[in-house]
Each structure stands twice: as C-alpha cells, then as structure tokens.
Amino acid sequence: MKTVDYFNFKDKQALIRVDFNVPLNEDLKVTDANRIEAAKPTIVKILEDGGSVVLMSHLGRPKGNEAKFSLKNIVSKVSEVIGVEPKFVEDCVGADVKKAADELESGEILLLENLRFHDEETAGDEAFAKQLSELGDIYVNDAFGTAHRAHASTTIVAQFFEDKCFGYLLAKEIKSLDKVLNSTEKPVTAVLGGAKVSSKITVIENILDAVDHLIIGGGMTYTFIKAQGGKIGNSLVEEDKQELALEILKKAKEKGVQVHLPVDSIIADSFSDQASTQVESVDSIPDGWMGLDVGPETLKNFEKVIADSKIILWNGPLGVFEMETFAKGTIELGKAIAEATKNGAFSLVGGGDSVAAVKQFGFDDKVSYVSTGGGAMLEMLEGKSLPGIAAISE
Ligand code: AMP
C-alpha cells in the first residue's frame, strides 16, 4: 500500500482529498473538529517535507452555492488545528483557483471551496476531475468517509496522476479492517447489533469466512428468535427475513462459526424511557411487550466470549442505547471490549451508531480503532472493492 511515506514532497504540491465534512452550529462554527484533526498527520508530513498542500473536501449536501455549506466557515478551525493559516479560494475549479494554486509556496496550504457546489463532483465528471488534477503534482486520498463513492475528487481524479497515494488516515482504516478480515490471530469475534437484519445481511454473510464467533444483538435478535419458533411479543421483527435468518445460522454452522444470540431481554411495555420493564427469556416475551435491550444472562455470555477474543469487531448497538433505560447492554459491551483491549486484543468499532455510542459513553480512546467512515466501512465489511481505494491501488 503506497502512503505519503513513499514520497518526498520537497518542492512538490500535494492535492489532498480530505473529509472536512464537519458539523457546524447555527453561528456556522465547527462543533466537532475530529475530522480535521484526523487529517493533520498527512498534511503536516507534506509541509515538513518542504511541500505545499491544496485541500479539497465536500461539506454537507448543498443545493448550489449555499453560504452555510461554504468551507470558508471552517478556515479558522483548520488554522487552529493544523497550525498554518490556510489561504481560501471561493471555488474549486477555474482560472482564479488555478492561479492561487500556482502561486502557492512551500509550507503553504490552499483550501478550496466546497466541491459539491458543482454537480460534476458527485456525477464523477471527467472534465471537472481533470481541472482539479491541475492543482497539484501528487494526488493524496485521505478521505475514508467518501471512499465508497466514485466521485470526481475521490476516484476519477486519480487517473490523471502518475504519482498518487493514500494519506495516513485512509491507510490506517484499510489496515485496521484488514487486521479483522484477514487475521492470523484467533479467535476473531464480530459483534453485530443495530435495528435490522436486512441492513446487515451482506456483512454477516461476508464476515462468516473471517470470524470464529458471531455475537448478535439489537433489534435483529428477534427475527432470529421468531424464526426458531420463539415468542417475541411486540419486538422488532422482519417477517420476510426469517428464512434468511435460519440460512445464516445454517451457514455459520457449516463454516464452524459459533453464533451467540441473546438468551434474555430487557422487555418494556412501550417504546419509551419511562416504560415499565422486566427481564424475560428472549423466546418468551408476552404480547404487548417488546425487547429493547439484552438481559443480564446474555451479557455474562457475551462478556466471556469478548474476554477470550484476540480480534474484535463491533458494529451496531445491543439495545436502544439512545434511551437510558435500554443503554446498559451497549455500555457493558463497551466496557468488556475496552477491558479486552487493555489485555492485548485488537478492537475495531465502526458504523454510524456504534461510533456514536462509544463516543457518548467514553470508550473511544479505550478501543484500538474507531472508524471514521460508516458507509465506507460497511461496504468493506460486505467485501466490496471501494472505488476510492481501487483508484490508487491499481
Ligand atoms: P443500525 O443503524 O442498524 O446500527 O441500528 C441502530 C439503531 O438500532 C439504534 O437507533 C437503536 O436504537 C436501534 N435498536 C437497537 N436495539 C433495538 C431493539 N431491540 N429494538 C428496536 N431498535 C433497536
């Protein structure tokens, strides 16, 4: 894998696709600079080599040139995080942009305006990508969050460069996933939670070849339990996915993967933080009640599997963690993964909601790696080749 370490950037200009799609408040101030911080090592390496940097990113989903999606809003935050005040141009292509890029000197940064102010970006337009390519000597992709999109700046632009590579962040994402999917260390455990079987089915099928243990939690549980003849009351279920659930269990058995399903649930008489709750066997939930978190016996079982694992992948919460009453399973799982990590296991957390959960409960610095790209990570777990990665690897 070619990373920025492969090149000496002295007197070279890097065109870097970063993911500066950061949240802004009503005053258009950055409320979470994680994504800017994540791109810092790559930018600093290039500047320290004696090179210059042109940064390009999207921000939000603008319809035309909406001021609230202007990257001008993040200039001061970039300056604060990177320690260099970036120059800013009010477009990402055109004569003024080309001039600003040509005039850039070693040690300087140029930040382009939001790529998505042009429809050509998401359309993957070649002529637009060619214009972008004229702004640098070496193309660097450090935006994992958009690596699954064949957009102009993430994929198409790469064909115009002889010299191209991954930034440190993207390289780290790829390596972390590789560590899980192609591990020589065992046992490998995947914890899959979240709402639906249907959104995770391809992931489950693909990772059966990589894991020794598959822990299933969250709303998905009840489709599996009902398919096996259990009584699930009013719990979340995808009726038409029961056959599929049984097939997964059969396939797992054939491949020697141990599947761990919940044995008990925290059940509630309504979908509310204030609901009456009790602990019940996962397959004997009365009508009018629904399972919204895993129960204590289940947690004991899951914790044991986690403690014995060398490699752990976690995607999706074990319960409705947004409500305090049903957050315990997800919190305890986070604790168990943090403990296993302390004892030498490698743990990777990815996918939107589990990332939100580990951050909310303070486990983000107690696991080995928290992925920055929800959709991109899921597609890699599904075994798909991501266009942004392929464009550099080829
Ligand atoms: P996903 O995006 O598929 O990872 O799903 C995450 C969502 O699943 C979160 O919003 C959780 O509240 C929800 N969830 C987890 N467990 C359950 C459950 N037992 N019943 C309903 N929703 C759940």
DSSP letter assigned to residue 3? B
Residue 355 has pLDDT above 90, yes or no: no
For a pLDDT cut of 70, what percent of the chain falls above it? 100
Residues in the chain: 394
- 161 and 189 inside one domain: no
Residue 353 has pLDDT above 90, yes or no: no
pLDDT band at 147 (very low <50, low <70, confident <90, very high): very high
Q: Tell me what the mean pLDDT of segment 154-174 comes to.
A: 97
196 is catalytic: yes
| Residue 128, strand partner residues | none
Token readout for 291 is: 């399972």
383 is catalytic: no
* Residue range 31-85, pLDDT digits in tens: 999 899 999 999 999 999 999 999 999 999 999 899 999 999 999 999 999 999 9
Which CATH number covers residue 291?
Answer: 3.40.50.1260
175 in any annotated domain: no
* Residue range 97-138, pLDDT digits in tens: 999 999 999 999 999 999 999 999 999 999 999 999 999 999
pLDDT mean across residues, the chain? 96
Q: Looking at 335, 352, 359, 366, which residue is catalytic?
A: 352
Q: Tell me what the mean pLDDT of segment 14-25 comes to.
A: 96
Alpha helices, DSSP H, located in 114-200: 120-123, 126-133, 168-181
Strands 290-294 and 311-315: unpaired
Pocket around ligand 1 at a 6 A CB cut-off = 194-196, 199, 218-219, 236, 291-292, 316-317, 319-320, 322, 351-353
pLDDT reported for residue 351: 77
Host H or E run for residue 91: none
393 in any annotated domain: no
- 114 and 230 inside one domain: no
Token readout for 282 is: 């996962």
The answer to whether 58 and 146 have CB atoms below 8 angstroms apart is yes
Domain containing 293 equals 183-381
- 273 and 147 inside one domain: no
Give 45 Cα–ligand 1 centroid separation in angstroms: 40
Answer yes or no: is 291 a known binding residue: yes
- 362 and 246 inside one domain: yes
> Would the pTM of this model clear 0.85, i.e. be above it?
yes
Ligand 1 atom closest to the Cα of residue 235 is 20
Q: Tell me what the mean pLDDT of segment 176-197 comes to.
A: 94
pLDDT band at 319 (very low <50, low <70, confident <90, very high): very high
- 16 and 159 inside one domain: yes
Burial zone of 158 (CB within 10 Å; 0-12 exposed, 13-18 middle, 19+ buried): buried
388 in any annotated domain: no
Compute the distance between CA of residue 184 and CA of residue 220 in angstroms, rounded to an integer.
Answer: 29
Q: Which residues contact 202 (CB under 8 A, 6 or more apart)?
A: 382, 383
pLDDT reported for residue 372: 81
Ligand 1 atom closest to the Cα of residue 319 is 16
Query: Please, what's the b/e burial string for 49-84 (b: 16 or more CB within 10 A of its CB; e: otherwise)?
Result: bebbbbbbbbbeebeeeeeebbbbbbeebbeebbee
- 265 and 146 inside one domain: no
Give 320 Cα–ligand 1 centroid separation in angstroms: 5
